[in-house]
Structure formats: C-alpha cells, structure tokens
Amino acid sequence: MATNNDSPITMDTFLAGIWRENPVFVMLLGMCPVLAVTNSVSNALAMGLATTFVLLCSSALVAMLRRHIPKEVRIASYIIIIATFVTVVDYVIQAVSLEVYNALGAFIQLIVVNCMILGRAEAFASRNRVGTTLVNSLGMGLGFTLALLCLGSVRELLGAGTLLGFPVFGEAFEPWVIMLLPPGGFFVLGAWLLLFAWVKEMQMKRTAHAGEASAHAR
Amino acid sequence: MHAESLGYIFLNAAVINNFVLALFLGICPLLGVSGRLNTAFSMGLATAFVMLISSTAAWGLNALLTAYDLEFLRLIAYIAVIASAVQLVEMTIKKFSPPLYKALGIFLPLITTNCAILGVALFQTNYEYDFLQSVVYSLGAGAGFILAIVLMAGLRERLELADVPSIARGAAMSLMLAGILSLAFMGFAGLGG
C-alpha cells in the first residue's frame, strides 16, 4: 500500500477542493455530468449533492480499508465500492422524487465513471486517515456542487429567463433557448474557464508588477 | 421491444444523438486525446471496439440478472464487465501489435472510466433493445465517437498555427470548438425521424 503521510487536518485540506484544486474549473474532471445536467439550477443541485454523497461515503470506506486492499487490484476494488454507493443513491432518489430521477436519467448511474471520485480514492483516500479524507472529500464535493451551480444558474437564466423556476426577467424577455441545448453547455463552461484564466493572468501580472516595483525601490 | 429499424438506430446513435456532442458522454478523452489526428483515430477505434464487446456482454448479463430478479446488481456487473473487456483488449493489442500498444499508452486502461461505454450499456437496457438492436446501437455509438474525436483533432491541429490569445489556450478553446461542432450536429435533428 502507498506510504502513509498522515497530514494534519487544516483549513487548507477543506478549501483546496473549493478553489485551488476545484475539480471542474481547475482539474477538468468529471466533465460529463457537469455539461449534461446543468440546464437548470435544481438539476445541478441534485446532481451535485448526489455526487458529494457518493464521494464522501466511498472515500471514507477506501480510507478505512486502505491497509487491506492489495495494490494490484485496488482500482477494481475502488470501482466496486463506488458502484455500490451509486446504486444506493440511485434507489434513494427514485424513492424520494421521481421527478428529479426522470430529469437526471442515466446520469445518476453514470456517477460511477466520474473520474473525480476515482481520482480522490486513488490520490487522497488511499494515503490518508479517515478524518482527513472526509474533510478533503467534503471540500471537493462542495467545489463540484458550486461549479455545477455556476453553470446551471447561467444556463437557466439565459435559456429560460428563470432562476429555480421563478421568472427573473419581465414578460418581454425572449428566452435564449440554445443555452439549454447541448451547445450552450459547452459555450458556458468555455466562458467560465476563460473568465478564470483571465483572472489568473491579471493576478500574475499584478504580482509581477509588485515584484518589479520592489526591485526598483531597492 | 421497439419498432425502430436497425438503420435508424445506427443513424440515431452516430449522428442525431451523437454520444459526445449531444449526450455529453466521453468528454474526457475528447479533451485529452484529441491533440493529434492519428492518436485520436486509434483511440476512437479502441473505444468503439470495447463498446461493442461490453454492450454484447451487457445484453447477456442483463438477461441473466432479470431472470434471477437481481436488477440491483446491474451497475456493479456492468462495470466489472467493462473493466475486464478493457483488460482483454489491452492484452490482445499488446500481443498482436506492440507499436500500437505503445502509441496508446496510458489511455488504454483509462477507457474503463469513459462514460460513453457505460452509457451505451445503460441506454440499451433502458430502451429495451433486443440483441441485434443492441449490437447495431453500440456500433453506431462507436462510429459517432470516432467521428467526433477525429473532427475535433483535425480542428485542433489546424488551430496550432493560429494566433490564439494566451488566456484562451487549452481547455477553454477546446470547449468552444466542441460547442461549435455540437451546434453543427444539431442540424441532424429530425433526420430519419
């Protein structure tokens, strides 16, 4: 089994997933559900919470069993663990709200192949204690949900003129239907990535300028 | 059992509801492996092949699980079948064509986590396709995947010569490209209906 670098729980363990290592905007993991179910805020929220639940449970179990899973079959074992929890979520959603279940369709079952969850199991849960893993996974899950909400709200606002089903713009608003259709998903995610790249570049320029200024002052 | 003709099922999976550009399945390889045209094509072929094997196996498994009232095991059984199919393809390619094995490298085992493959298996179960329909459906999905990834790779190769603003390089540009491709594929809606 991998080395055991039991890092202490810090605020950073939690925050890493939300901003610096955001699974969607920074690491580009788990793109399929991100694009497919974000045509409304409520769908995005349901998907985000379902994924967070699976992520939390599976990474906790992987962390608990990390000393017992042989290295050669670890990927297969992780997938089976994840598939078990996805089956649970699938049946729970079906029981709680048939409406949400029909809206999300096969994408609930496709959480199994969300690379973010397998990535967490392999890169973090298999090397850390249960507590640390839980905190980190919660951050990652919330980061994922946040990203889904970012996309879902923009697409619902532009594509239907509503937010969570309530009309935002007046009667005169002509819905921009293309945003609800598949191309809209690609365009909105592309636009968010452009925005983040731009912010990052501005920050780098500013630090570079500050560095130059202090060099001159000396 | 659906009354759809086999030709329509193929066309539907390949272009009208293209797996990558309309259903958003298999975005990761689309963004990851579409840098070079020939690698993209080999990747597409390997994926299509795994799709065919796993969908055939999934059809048999589903019949077996339904017969014994074990539907809740479906997801776990499918993913296990896909993982072993990928292993099989990997061993076959390694034995018969070592150069291709080297060219595909890490992407070969990663086919396991390609949602398009699990997607084919799940959708054909939802639509209640019979054996022949399932095979045609998976062939269509494979063809659609190859089409999308090859188109994407061709566009990206041309773009390398273009002068792109520094913030748009990489993923953002690829997503915009995919959006335009997806817009183009919407033109197929209603075809064969």
Q: Report the distance separating Cα B39 and Cα B41, nearest Å.
A: 5
A to B CB pairs, distance under 8 Å: 106
Lowest mean pLDDT among A6-15, A102-111, A198-207, B71-80: A6-15
Q: Report the distance separating Cα A153 and Cα A179, nearest Å.
A: 11
Count of domains forming chain B: 1
Report pLDDT for A141.
92
Please check whether residue B143 lies inside any domain of the structure.
Answer: yes
Instruction: Write out pLDDT tens, residues A46-72.
Output: 999 999 999 999 999 999 998 888 887
Report pLDDT for A218.
57
| Residue in B167, B186, B188 to test binding to A, most A beta-carbons within 10 Å | B167
Flag whether pLDDT at A40 surpasses 60. Answer: yes
Contact indicator for A79, A131 with CB cutoff of 8 Å: no
Please, which residues have CB within 8 angstroms of residue B75's CB and are 6 or more apart in sequence?
A: A83, A86, A87, A90, A109, A112
| Interface subset of A 110-169, CB within 8 angstroms of B | 110, 112-115, 118
Report pLDDT for A55.
93
What's the DSSP call for residue A67? T
Residue that has been written with the tokens 């379902």 in this structure: A50
Please check whether residue B1 lies inside any domain of the structure.
Answer: no
| Residue in A102, A112, A179 to test binding to B, most B beta-carbons within 10 Å | A112
> Can you tell me the mean pLDDT for B142-163?
89
Report pLDDT for A4.
46
- Residues of chain A with Cβ-Cβ distance to B72 below 8 Å are 87, 91
ipTM: 0.82
Which residue range is the domain that position B111 belongs to?
28-188
Lowest mean pLDDT among A16-20, A39-43, A138-142: A16-20
Flag whether pLDDT at B193 surpasses 60. Answer: no
Please check whether residue B114 lies inside any domain of the structure.
Answer: yes
Please check whether residue B12 lies inside any domain of the structure.
Answer: no
Q: Report the distance separating Cα B50 and Cα B54, nearest Å.
A: 6
- Residues of chain A with Cβ-Cβ distance to B168 below 8 Å are 194, 197
| Distance between start and end Cα atoms, chain B | 18
Flag whether pLDDT at B34 surpasses 80. Answer: no
